[in-house]
Structure 1
Amino acid sequence: MDREALLADLLSNKGTSSLLSGQLPIKVVMDNQYIPPLITGAEEDMGTSFTSLGHVVDSVLSDQIKTITLVGSAGSGKTTALEKFIVDWAKGDHCQKFSHVFLFDLKDLSCLDSLYSLKTLILQNRHRFDPESMALVLQKPENVMFVFDTLDLYKHSLDRSAHTLCSDPSMPTTISTLVNSLLHGTLLNGATFLVATRPTDSLKFLEGFKVELLGFSKPQREAYFGQFFTDPHVANIAWQNMERTLGFYDFGSSPCFCWTVCSVYKYQLDAGERLPETITEICVNAMAQIVASLALDEVRARELVLALGRVAAHCCIDPYSTCSKERIASSGLKQLLNAPVLIDSLLRVDGVLESDQFVLSFHTQLMQELLLAVSFLLDKTIAKNATELLNTHEGHVKYLHLYLAGLLNSSQRRPLESLLGTFNDEQLMDFKCWLKTSSQKTLESHYKEKHLKAFRLLHQSQNDMLVKEIVTPSARIGISYAGLGLVDCVALNYIVKCLGGMEQFNLYSANNLTEEGTDILIPAMGLSQKIMLSNSSLSAGSVAHIARALREGITKELDLSHTKLGDENLKVLCSGLRACKLHKLKMLACRLTEACCGDLSSVLTSSTSQLSVLDLMFNELGDQGLMQLCQALKNPFCKLQELKLRSCQLTAESMEALSRALCCGQSELRILDLTENRIGDIGAEHLSQALQYPHCNLQRLTLSATALTRRCCHGLAKALRSDHCSLVELDLSVNELGSEGALQLCKALRKPGCPLEKLNLTRCELTKVVFTEFGLILRSGSSQLKSLSLALNRVGDEGMKSLWNAIADPCCLLEDLSIEMTELTDVSTGDLCASLRASRSLKSLDLSNNVLSDASVTALVQVVQDSPFLQEVNLKYNDFSEDVMEIMDQCGKIKY
């Protein structure tokens, strides 16, 4: 068909409006209101995107590809995209290789019963087509394009094997044979086809290139709202509300849905009412407008909705299900089908209404399931109770639960109740009971996906009191909610706001938490005492929103460990850290370097910062980075009490600066962990000097695996003997102190008033003489030691005798003792049991990884059971057989 004739034919089309914008597609195009939805290539070409259908055709057509299939969901704008393509072709904008383009609606074609030749079909469908043009079509099919719409509504199969195909354009045949012969290339071979459809099984019979119509992106939605509302300010208010409450749903990209939202918003704004907050409110208001336009009295309006609900109940069982004339008659709907608003807005008709051969289905699943929910809550004809309804439609519905929850809210169902009368109280109460019972059971479990589903339902209800009734103290809402979609972010945020706060907001391992999702969660994070984001992937935008949540909220603890945060993102985070209520910040293995320490120092020295615990383990801070932090420690505004710097590439070079900071009189630091840094004896000496100053507040010092030798012990011992030392815990494990070094420490421990209560000398190359000395110290009456680890020092049974005697002594205060892997055997069992029986202080004993056998089990179990003081004995990884497992099972205090 030539350009002018085809364009004129489109412009004269008086058919029903498409789902897009509630207007005729050609009107949208010709009024320059068209915003092209996103188009992307098929799976084998993922990553290919196109600006328009004309771009698709120009880019992909070749001798091998003659068919392009456009796939999109209901309301995604397929029909309008096709007509926009044809208008652009007619205006000469693209695809000028085609001399003729023919547009056919496959739904209409499938209703034709007579026999047609291709010539007849073209001439009858487009009456302004002359014989001379027909000759050109037949002579040069490569210059011809057929545009087929609504393949999903085509009645016949596209399976080539089910037809005897034809090749003669003059031969009359069935529509089914004609369409198949065209698409499979036996008729008018060389012609090009552009086919639009919803997802359907018929797609498997079409070769060529497939593209997907994705609908509107967020900026396109903004542009659409800008066109719908003439006032830019109003357009922005409406669009912002859409994005905040609905833009995260998968149907939010549908142009049809955007038109529905705009129409409802305009009605609400014109009436001076607030804008809807949920999908239930939007769809209820849209349905109310449809029902109101019919001008029915309450009784007839109620009958209509119940009839539609019965049809919906049938169609919901199968997404491809339709409703026959007989079922329509039994539903009571037949007499109302002539109302155009029903056909345009809710129902689609396959066939002629006046004939005996027609079926109905719904344009969208959204409205179909809303009608099912409403009809259930109006009376008991759909189902007697919620359990029956939900069981019947289990696996077939997507929005039914949401609507039922939303309709529990009287304000959300009010627009329909004003037209249909009040909903059934018994049905409402039945679903409320179902929701409470199922949600409470779900929230007592540890299943994240079930939790989120319950939250989505509660969000739809928009009922603070109902949330508080359901989310009781027994709810396990501290589990990780990683993997949140935007709809989950909105629901979770709503729940936390209803509860007024959350002890722990756990997003552990949130690898897909987007900037938009984080923005939504700002209020919830701000209301949480602790935020867990460890092992998550965070963009700079997400970090900025977290910083805002910290500034505005009450959060006291934040865990960002293993998030690959980096220096630049930390700089963004610091904007929130300088003025917040945060007390504890964990950033283990966050790829931080020396470059971040200036920002951290500025946070620590801020007069508004309350940060008291900072965990920077496994970051490459280096000596220069620590020196910057030391400057902060000397600032009177710095409130830091605990600093963890394990494996931060530190050496003795930075220990002198740290020592000066500790004894400057301003530092409040009480806990310091320098594990796995090669500070050596020189670095330890600097720290030992600080411990002797009266202004040093350090109480716990961890120097595990820091390349120490016996030479550091003299300074440490001197510090422990100092009158000003406040150290109560010292960890020197995994260092080569040897017996000589350890004995120097023992001399300090003998001094009355030595403050040390916990000492860890695991794997320090100790010998029997050191164990003997510790036995004497523990019995001396002057030692304050309550926890002692001498593990991984292989002294054997003889080395232990002094310790056994000490444990039994009433002067011994020891509560925790670890002698793991010291080569203890059954020879010691008698002395060990005697000392445990006599001990009045020991609570925990670690005997793991020794050489105890079955022979010791009975005696050990007996003494542990009898002891009123022992709480735990670890016997793991000894030489026990399965024969004694049952004996150890009898004592809950024993780990094995």
Structure 2
Amino acid sequence: MADMEESIEDALLFALDDLREENFKRFKYKLGFLKWEGKAHIPQGKLEDANTMDTVQLLLEAYGMEGAREVAIHVLKEINLRDSATRLQTWKYNDCKKNYKRHLRETFWPILELGSNHGSTVGLPQRYTELLLVRNPQRPETAHELLGAEKKHRKMEVDQEGGCQKLGLEDLFDSAAEKKSSRTVILVGPAGVGKTTAMRKLMLDWASGQFWQAKFEYAFYLSCRALNVGSTKAMSLVDLMLSGCPPGTLLAEDILMNQDSLLLILDGFDELKHQDLPSGTQSASNPHEKQAAASLVTGLLRKKLLAPCHLIVTTRPVALGSLLPCLRSPQFVEVLGFQPAQREEYFHRFFQNKEEATRAFELVRINETLFRVCFLPVVCWVICSVLSGGLQKQPLKDIPEMATFTDVYLGLLDFLGCPSRLSDLKGLCGLAKDGVLRQTMVYNEEELKAHGLEPFSASRRLLPQDVHLPGICQFIHLGFQEFFAALSYLLDSDREAGTSSKDLKEVFGTKKAHSCNDRMLVRFLFGLSNTKRQSILQKTWGYPLTSRIRLCQEFLSWVEQEARCQAFRSGEPLLELCHCLYEMHDSQFAQSVMGHIYNIDLRDHLLTKLDLAALSFGLSASDSLRSLRLSSCKLGLKELEQLSPGLLKSSEIQLNRCGLTAVVCRELVSIVVNNLNLTHLNLGENPLDDSSIIHLCDRLIGPSGKLQSLR
């Protein structure tokens, strides 16, 4: 990046050499009487016989590098040599911009390795892997942010492109999509999907001249996390933008000169204290007026501050409710993390050694659950860090191929570490529970102390500090926060009997348990209630857990209540219930639960392999199933085998539009011919040939069968 940059001495010398002799004399004469910011003027005796080189040296000695430039511009204007003053000002402007870009490159180039608060770094360009960005003209749907994003990956796998408009970072303000009222782009994505890293890469690429050079004169990165830390301090927007620059790097008048070519990145809106956001009438409108941080943010979002500028806002889905009322005609772009090819690319970028990267990636690829969650860059980062400790040890070997989420997170905790003292573990769990309830992953020292934790005494890998903001830390990933939040409900403290049961009712209220944001927490509650896992946890960490009998009673009571309200009629809650049972993996308990489920309707659901494993477990435990409706679910031989427990019991089966081939259809017939309860079978709109239909009729329609309807 080094180039032959012109020094301030060269610029001053060029400006003075360009003057005619008469004008140079006028310049020295005026300079000899100038008093600048309380400093003594340069004596006329020193200036009288000075040539241009001498004069430059005198300027630098008297006023310093920055002052010499300002004095020269002032004197040139005073003697009406405005063209010369303008050329020197232009040089000053370009020099400031070069220095600012150099500062950005130094700031955004390094990234820390896992668990290294002040240790080794790696270059962002070396590690950065392209993310899947999808333009979405509508507000993104609200679901559990991790599960919802994973479902979208499944849809794209099935539909190939899925009708989505994919784009790169440089396309966020694509002229084809841009309208006069849409200079605000909202990047929405779950925690750990790479939003912040992408914005740091964008800043680095702009500062390195990779793109947007003609479009944006200046780009600024504003961290909402940093704004939270300094939220009590009033400042102007100009002060805020300049706060991250070395003194003298930029000038406010240069930044605000052309607001149309100004880019502001507001990263992590979800980390703001949304209850402090002012109304529209209280938003800041003057970039020089000192305001509270929240007022500056809403002023930018509502386009009352720097209205012509371009704005990128990143946020988790949980904050959309607070963000949307502040916006004017935004564009939405969803950040969906890594596609399968990019997951492999990331492993190769991490390890660099091709053979080592291939071996590491294969360990993950063959594990369905691990590979699925690797759409999140942060999970790839954690897993690669785990494996970099020694592939021979295979630290993930105990995670089964069709692992539950509880299996995955327990396996990764062996590497990330967990507090050894019970008091610290309880504090960590309480902190996680508090964060889930408040929908935040970021904590300060006071919040740690409130839960009995010494600041940053917890694992640096599990709860790392923010290297840019001393005193701030966050869970390495939302999943671990939800894991420890679930564990907090199971820790049996010295409280009065029944307290844990009362706490569980907080989770299993009708609205709470079906809240999209709490689905992973509920799954972990079931998973951690598994007999074998509870035994391992108590042996490993040496603490008592809530009575498993009490837990199962709470779970079953919740299912009975929900079943009476017909909450499981729709597909999503029903599938989520199957996942909870699969996490617990207790056949006897599953039978008690599935005894309340009579109909399974998952029409138009794109089922993942893990969905099918969970559904299969639920079907195996069901003795009261009446109907199984799976229309539009893509089914092959393996899927039929998993669904066979339900196919052998249901009186009504709907498998229309499931892509059943002739081979699959014959296998289906061999299963359902043994179902003596079957009365209705719908196989419409499948690619079946005449021989398959004849085979169906011959095997299923007869005097001894109960089948009443075959479509």
Range into which the TM-score falls when normalised by the shorter chain = 0.5 to 0.7
C-alpha displacement at 1:448, in angstroms?
4.3
Q: Tell me whether 1:77 sits opposite 2:197 in the alignment.
A: no
Rounded Cα–Cα distance in structure 2 between residues aligned with 1:121 and 1:440: 55
Looking at structure 1, the residues matched to 335 and 305 of structure 2 have their Cα atoms a distance apart, in angstroms, of 32
Partner of 1:490: 613
1:389 aligns with 2:506: no
Alpha-carbon distance, 1:217 to partner: 6.2
Q: Where does 1:439-478 land on structure 2 (aligned, <5 Å)?
A: 447-448=568-569, 452-464=575-587, 466-467=589-590, 470=592, 475=595
Structure 1 residues 632-687: Cα deviation after superposition (integer angstroms, max 9, x where no partner): xxxxxxxx999999999xxxxxxxxxxxxxxxxxxxxxxxxxxxxxxxxxxxxxxx
1:36, distance to aligned residue in structure 2 (A):
0.9
Aligned equivalents of 2:415, 2:429: Cα separation in 1: 17
Equivalent positions of 1:423-442 (< 5 A) are 423-424=544-545, 427-435=547-555
Match of 1:481 among 598, 601, 608: 601
**2:256 is the counterpart of 1:138:** yes
CA displacement at 1:43 relative to structure 2? 0.9
Task: Return the match for 2:488 from 356, 375, 387.
Answer: 375
Which position in structure 1 is the counterpart of 2:6? none
C-alpha distance after superposition, 1:599-651 (max 9, x if no partner): 556x58xxxxx953349xxxxxxxxxxxxxxxxxxxxxxxx999999999xxx
Structure 1 residues 645 and 403: alpha-carbon distance in aligned structure 2, compared to 1, 3 A threshold: closer
Distance 1:552 1:129 in 2: 80
Q: Say which SS state the counterpart of residue 76 (structure 1) adopts.
A: coil
TM-score with structure 1 length normalisation?
0.53
Distance 1:519 1:148, change over 3 A: farther
1:42 aligns with 2:137: yes
Q: Which residue of 2 aligns with 1:550?
A: 668
Measured after TM superposition, the shift of residue 287 of structure 1 is 3.4
The residue correspondences of 1:144-155 to structure 2 (distance < 5 A) are 144-155=262-273
Q: Structure 2 vs 1, CA of residues 159 and 437 (structure 1 numbering), >3 Å: closer, same or farther?
A: closer
Deviation of 1:237 (Å): 4.8
> Which residue identity does 2:616 align to in structure 1?
N
The whole-number CA distance in structure 1 between the counterparts of 2:172 and 2:398 is 42
Measured after TM superposition, the shift of residue 494 of structure 1 is: 1.9
Say yes or no: does 1:58 pair with 2:174.
yes
Alignment of 1:672-821 (within 5 A): none
Matched, 1:239 2:339: no
Q: Unaligned regions of 5+ residues in structure 1, if any?
A: 572-595, 605-609, 616-639, 649-896
Query: Does structure 2 retain, via aligned residues, the 8 Å contact 1:158–1:205?
Result: no
With over 3 angstroms needed to count, the CA separation of the structure-2 counterparts of 1:519 and 1:217, relative to structure 1, is: farther
Residue of structure 1 in register with 2:684 after alignment = 564
**Inter-partner Cα distance in structure 2 for 1:220 and 1:173:** 46
The verdict on how the C-alpha distance between 1:507 and 1:415 changes in structure 2, with shifts beyond 3 A counting, is same
Q: What CA deviation, in whole Å up to 9, does each residue of 1:473-513 have, x standing for no partner?
A: xx26553333456365332212345x5x97978423x3452
CA distance in 2, matches of 1:18, 1:219: 23
- Cross-structure match for 2:426: 306
Q: CA deviation at 1:164?
A: 4.9
* C-alpha deviation, 1:525, in angstroms: 2.2
Offset at 1:62?
4.1
2:417 maps to what in 1? 291
Q: Does 1 or 2 have the higher relative contact order (CA < 8 Å, sep 6+)? A: 2
Question: Retained in 2: the 8 A contact 1:66–1:193?
Answer: yes
Normalising by structure 2, report the TM-score.
0.65
Which letter maps to 1:165?
A: S
Are residues 1:407 and 2:524 paired?
no
**Alpha-carbon offset, residue 551 of structure 1:** 8.5
- Structure 1 residues 549 and 492: alpha-carbon distance in aligned structure 2, compared to 1, 3 A threshold: farther
Q: Distance in 2 between matches of 1:442 and 1:123?
A: 55
Partner residue in 2 for 1:777: none
Alignment partner, residue 394 of structure 2: 270
CA contact (8 A) 1:21 1:259 kept: no
2:61 aligned partner: none
Corresponding letter in the other structure for 2:506: T
CA distance in 2: counterparts of 1:380 and 1:270, whole angstroms: 35
Q: Is the 8 A contact 2:282 2:295 kept in 1?
A: no
* Alpha-carbon separation, structure 2, partners of 1:519 and 1:391: 39
Indicate the residue corresponding to 2:33 in structure 1.
none
Q: Secondary structure at the match of 2:265?
A: strand
Partner Cα distance (1:180, 1:24) in 2:
37
Kindly indicate whether the alpha-carbon contact (under 8 Å) linking 1:158 and 1:202 is maintained by their aligned counterparts in 2: no
Equivalent of residue 218 in structure 2, options 94, 100, 119: 100
Number of the residue aligned with 1:193: 311
> Structure 1 residues 641, 23: closer, same or farther in 2, change over 3 A?
farther
Distance in 1 (CA, whole Å) between partners of 2:456 and 2:115 is 24
Secondary structure at 1:507's aligned position in 2? strand
Q: In 2 relative to 1, CA 480–180 (structure 1 residues): closer, same or farther, beyond 3 Å? A: closer
The match for 2:479 is 366
Letter in 1 for 2:265: V
Structure 2: 5+ residue stretches without partners: 1-95, 142-162, 513-517
Letter in 2 for 1:275: I
Give 1:307 deviation, angstroms.
0.8
Which residue number corresponds to residue 255 of structure 1? 377
- 1:507 aligns with 628
The AA in structure 1 aligned to 2:503 is L
Give a deviation string over 1:363-410, Cα, whole Å, max 9, x none: 655323322332343323578445312213344533333223222335
Corresponding pairs, count: 562
Q: Is the 8 A contact 2:267 2:315 kept in 1?
A: yes
Instruction: Give the drift of 1:438.
Output: 5.5
Which of residues 432, 447, 453 in structure 2 aligns to 1:333?
453
Is this contact kept in 2: 1:314–1:321, CA < 8 A?
no
Letter in 2 for 1:79: T
**Whole-angstrom distance in 1 between the partners of 2:316 and 2:662:** 40
Provide the rounded CA distance (Å) in 1 between the counterparts of 2:441 and 2:206: 37
**Whole-angstrom CA distance in 2 between matches of 1:402 and 1:334:** 30
For the 8 Å contact 2:673–2:699, the answer to whether it is kept is no
Q: Is contact 1:19-1:256 (8 Å) kept? A: no
Provide, for residues 311-345 of structure 1, a one-character-per-residue CA deviation record: whole Å limited to 9, x for no partner: 3343444435987866643421135457633432x
Q: Deviation per CA, 1:409-450, whole angstroms, max 9, x where unpaired?
A: 3543566445421433x5233213444566588789975467
Q: Which amino acid aligns with 1:107?
A: R
After superposition, the C-alpha distances for 1:582-608 in whole angstroms (9 at most, x for unaligned) are xxxxxxxxxxxxxx2x5556x58xxxx
After TM superposition, the structure 1 = structure 2 runs for residues 472-621 of structure 1, keeping only pairs within 5 Å, are 475=595, 479-483=599-603, 486=607, 488-497=611-620, 506-508=627-629, 510-515=630-635, 520=639, 522-525=641-644, 528-529=647-648, 536-540=655-659, 543=661, 546-547=664-665, 550=668, 556=674, 561-566=681-686, 569-571=687-689, 596=690, 598=691, 600=693, 603=695, 611-614=698-701
Does structure 2 retain, via aligned residues, the 8 Å contact 1:264–1:285? no
Q: Is the 8 A contact 1:147 1:194 kept in 2?
A: yes
Are residue 205 (structure 1) and residue 326 (structure 2) matched? yes
1:234 offset after TM fit, Å?
5.2
Q: Which amino acid aligns with 2:700?
A: V
Deviation at 1:151, TM superposition (A): 1.9
Q: Which residue of 2 aligns with 1:126?
A: 245
1:170-197, CA deviations, whole angstroms, 9 ceiling, x for partnerless residues?
x655545555555444554422111212
Q: Which residue identity is paired with 1:401?
A: V
Partner of 2:84: none
In the superposition, relative to structure 1, how do residues 129 and 26 fare at CA in structure 2: closer, same or farther (>3 Å)?
farther
